[in-house]
Structure 1
Amino acid sequence: MSIYGYIRVSSDKQSVENQRYEIIRFCKTENIKISDWIEETISGTKSINKRELGVLLKKINKGDLVICTELSRIGRSLFMIMEFLNICLSKECYVWTIKDNYRLGDDLTSKILAFAFGLSAEIERNLISQRTKEALARRKSEGGVLGRPKGSNILPEKNRLYKKINTIDKLRKPKMSLQKIAKRLHVSRSTLSNFLKKISNQ
């Protein structure tokens, strides 16, 4: 059995020491010891998969325990928290929080919660998908154009490089490579090359 202490702060200005102190003090009262610490400085709105928390979820096994000070350390949305707890419970891991005083494990209450979390997460995903489809349908019915504006890939005047034609001409006179010119203009070489082709075809 591995015991993980999870700490998250949203900025460098916030100290991790307060959370670490609370977890260590809690472990002493429970007579347990942290096997490994997971610390990260990242917004709680970031996807779990893009965080160290996602790495932890892949690593935990049956019987492992994750301890954090409170559920808000997991994420800033109910959906994200439910997703995390659902994965932990489906792997038969334990999740304990100190301030919230949650003890989620293999008991009946936790299994009921796991079902509720999973169902809620699925409902939330469906609602998000439905809202997106409705928004796109409404925009289309109102005459809105979906995707990039028509002509943005056809008319050179629509390209942000159009205003920099003179600069491009000056850079090309010393036979500077397209790669270097693109780098100076902060665009990719292919973007610059396509723009020049459109200009020459006019």
Structure 2
Amino acid sequence: MIFGYIRVSTEQQSLQNQKHKILEYAQQHKLLIDEFIELEISSKKSQKERKIDILLEKMGEGDILICTELSRLGRNMLEILNLVEQFNQHKIKLIFTNQPELSTNQNEALSSLLLAIYGYFAQTEREIISERTKQGLSAARAMGKVLGRPKGAKNKTRILDPYKEEITRLLTIGVSQSSILKIINAKLDKPISMTALRYFIFYSIK
């Protein structure tokens, strides 16, 4: 089967424009689209909400997924690379009409190399952010700021403890700390600061 996946994040973007490009590609290569999945949803939503899980359930070995570009699949390169690997494990071919060099239906070696390069830079960026966080906390300690938990609070549940697993997962897929802060604050009665988040990440998430 051949699926077309179309996703836009804002009203300014066009579902029809993406669909036209996919249909144009299919016509040129004599392919018949069996089903389209069309979504108006932010890339910040979960994989399930973006119906990626449905694609993985419906599609199998030899099937083809056509998108206009990599960014339609996920919110950042680390997440996208993980999704590409999942599709590869299911032996599903990926076609990106605007980025044919990354498509896995023809030159798999080249697409794997380019994706590996993108992944390297994405991972490097995450490591730089992590290092900056550690340096910032070290500088704060050097200036005499108390960063530890208040005396007697060792066994108390911290405000971010219930979200540790979620924060860890978001960091793993490369979500920026500023984005994580927005996500977590939306769930809290009283918003926390970026410093509080960085402290929690530094001392609680290794």
With the length of structure 1 as denominator, give the TM-score of the two structures: 0.56
CA distance in 1, matches of 2:36, 2:138: 48
CA distance in 2, matches of 1:111, 1:18: 25
Quote the residue 2:160 is aligned against: none
Q: Report which of the two structures shows the higher radius of gyration computed on alpha carbons.
A: 1
Paired amino acid for 1:39: E
Q: Does 1:109 align with 2:112?
A: no
Q: In the TM superposition, what whole-angstrom CA distance separates every residue of 1:27-60 from its partner, at most 9, and x where no partner exists?
A: 1111011111111111123342442123212332
Quote the residue 1:24 is aligned against: 23
Quote the residue 1:33 is aligned against: 32
Quote the residue 1:79 is aligned against: 78
1:108 positional shift? 4.9
**Contact kept in structure 1, 2:3 and 2:36, CA below 8 Å:** yes
1:145 positional shift? 5.2
Q: In the TM superposition, what whole-angstrom CA distance separates every residue of 1:108-142 from its partner, at most 9, and x where no partner exists?
A: 5168449948x859967x959x669958x859964
1:146 positional shift? 5.5
Quote the residue 1:65 is aligned against: 64
Unaligned runs of 5+ in 1: 154-186, 188-202
CA distance in 1, matches of 2:24, 2:111: 28
Question: Structure 1 residues 145 and 132 mapped into 2: Cα distance closer, same or farther (>3 Å)?
Answer: farther
Unaligned runs of 5+ in 2: 157-188, 190-206
Calculate percent identity across the aligned residue pairs.
Answer: 26
Question: Structure 1 residues 108 and 36 mapped into 2: Cα distance closer, same or farther (>3 Å)?
Answer: closer
Aligned positions of 1:4-153 closer than 5 A: 4-101=3-100, 102-105=102-105, 108-109=108-109, 112-113=112-113, 116=116, 127=127, 134=134, 142-144=145-147
CA distance in 2, matches of 1:74, 1:140: 39
Q: In the TM superposition, what whole-angstrom CA distance separates every residue of 1:59-85 from its partner, at most 9, and x where no partner exists?
A: 321111110111122223111221111
Paired amino acid for 2:83: F
With a CA cutoff of 8 Å and minimum separation of 6, indicate the structure with the bigger relative contact order.
2
Helix, strand or coil: the match of 1:28? Answer: helix
CA distance in 2, matches of 1:77, 1:108: 22
CA distance in 2, matches of 1:146, 1:131: 22
Compare 95-104 and 9-18 and name the one that shifted more: 9-18
CA distance in 1, matches of 2:60, 2:110: 17
